[in-house]
Chains A and B, each alone.
Chain A
Amino acid sequence: MKQLLILSGKGGTGKTTIAGAFIKLTDAKAYADCDVDAPNLHLITRWNAEPAKTDYYGLPKAEINPELCTQCDQCRQNCWFDAISIDEKYKVDPFACEGCGVCEYVCPVEAIAMIPAVAGKLMLYSDGEKVFSTAQLKMGSGTSGMLVTEVKRQMKSAAVDTGLAIIDGSPGIGCPVIASLSGVDMVLIVAEPSISGISDMERIINTAEKFGTKIAVCINKYDTNIENTKRIEEFCIKKGLPFIGSIPFDSNAVKAINNGQTIVDIDCTSGTAVKEVYHKTMNLLFEKGCG
């Protein structure tokens, strides 16, 4: 099963809009939303049934038992995450705690225990033919990279025999993006022709290159700034990256999305353009003789 990941660097360039279109065009039997912090793909992929939900346990969090605590301050002094404070009682900030166990180790009276903590929810939609794996990270949680990996793992183990999986990624270049990059066969970068968009695109390409996966670039809303669109095309030529198409800004796209549809469900300019990008992506992804 080949995995296609859609990334952008910058938020709001259209990853999910394009992922939704690809899923529709390829009648994908396996897809996933790895933007576990702010998942949106489920809003445009119509599923009638409720998903199977699983609690996702992140790192355990330290808890101080005030009955046993002697207020010796060892825990607070040794916490490298500044997660322990004192306000009459010694308390652990669950958002800052990284579950390292140092406080548990240094406490002379065993007043600290590491308690399993739910950091999110995994969701799996399946109907025997196709599967959609997604998750929602609990607000303020860390370990988003781990949850992303779980989303992919869930998709892979539930997937019926299929040749292609589409993965909607998250913005940025940190933990969740690195986790989503592992093991994918190709990354499609959706760029936006703005100075910010170009800067962010360069950083995400930099990150993706470290994984040695195939990378291709397309531009969304290209006609909002033709000059910057040209810049991106030139950048791709210089870097030897395949530039596989441009999609125009289309107010009908917003209408479709707000109706819970993909841009290929209605007749619109962005829908027509994304079909071209889709075909070129598939050709690249499935071409033979490439390492």
Chain B
Amino acid sequence: MKIAIPVDEKTLESNVCVSFGRTPYFLIYDVETKESIFIDNSAAASMGGAGIKAAQTIVDNKANALLTPRLGENAANVLKLAEIKIYKTTTALVKDNIAAFIAAKLPLLDEIHAGFHGHGGN
């Protein structure tokens, strides 16, 4: 199973990025093989619709779940259609959230914010 997390830096010591659509990188972590891949988020530089583009990246990288502190409406719709589960990160460090996820201690993300509707975000 692969999980995706928005990260500030390309290292497992990184913090989770506060933004999904504008995060500089995503970590794609394979829970079974423990393999980590860091990918650039091309949506970060977008004028608008960053959430949609970032969500497309997650879909294309075949993640099964996303761990994120927050998520906008449009991005959430993309992920729901792709049947990717969305979990809420609870602490700052990436590795703590991965551990919590594996221990089935991470909650699902219920609060989807209204999103920026193509007007950019942070």
Q: Which residues of A contact B (CB under 8 A)?
A: 58-59, 99, 143, 145-146, 148-150, 152-153, 156-157, 175, 178-179, 181-183, 210-212
Kindly state whether residue B119 has any CB partner on chain A within 8 Å: yes
- Chain B window 81-122, contacts with chain A (Cβ cutoff 8 Å), 1 for yes, 0 for no: 000000000000000000000000000000001111111111
Inter-chain contacts of B121 with A (CB < 8 A):
149, 153, 182
| Contact status of A152 and B119, CB under 8 A, knowing A146-B48, A182-B113, A210-B114 | no
Partner among A145, A157, A212 whose Cβ is within 8 Å of the Cβ of B118: A145
Contact in complex: B119, A149 (CB < 8 Å): yes
- For B113, the chain A residues whose CB sits under 8 A away are 182-183
A184 to B116, CA, bound (A): 11
Given A58-B47, A59-B47, A149 and B117 contact (CB-CB distance below 8 Å): no
CB-nearest residue of chain A to B114: A211
Residues in A with CB closer than 8 Å to B47 are 58-59, 99, 143, 146
**Quick check: B118 and A156 within 8 Å, CB to CB?**
no
A165 to chain B minimum Cβ distance, whole angstroms, is 13
| Distance of A159 Cα from B114 Cα, bound (Å) | 23
Q: Which B residues are within 8 Å of any A CB, using their own CB?
A: 47-48, 113-122
Measured CA separation A38–B93 after assembly (Å): 41
Known: A58-B47, A143-B47, A146-B47. A179 touches B120 (CB 8 A): yes
A58-B47, A145-B120, A183-B114 known, 19 other contacts, Cβ within 8 Å = A143-B47, A145-B48, A145-B118, A146-B47, A149-B119, A149-B121, A150-B120, A153-B121, A153-B122, A156-B122, A157-B122, A175-B119, A179-B119, A181-B114, A182-B114, A182-B115, A182-B117, A182-B121, A212-B114
Q: Which residues on the A side are within 8 Å of B117 (C-beta)?
A: 145, 178-179, 182
**Known contacts being A58-B47, A59-B47, is A146 close to B114, with CB within 8 Å?**
no
Quote the shortest CB–CB distance from A148 to chain B (angstroms): 7
Q: Are B114 and A145 in contact (CB under 8 A)?
A: no
The docked-state distance in angstroms from the alpha carbon of A258 to that of B118 is 37
CB neighbours (8 Å) of B114 from chain A are 181-183, 210-212
Q: Of all chain B residues, which has the CB nearest A99?
A: B47
CB neighbours of A156 from chain B (8 A): 122
What's the Cα separation between A59 and B122 when bound, in Å?
A: 18
- Top 6 A-B residue pairs of the complex, sorted by shortest distance between their CB atoms: A145-B119, A149-B120, A153-B122, A179-B119, A146-B120, A211-B114
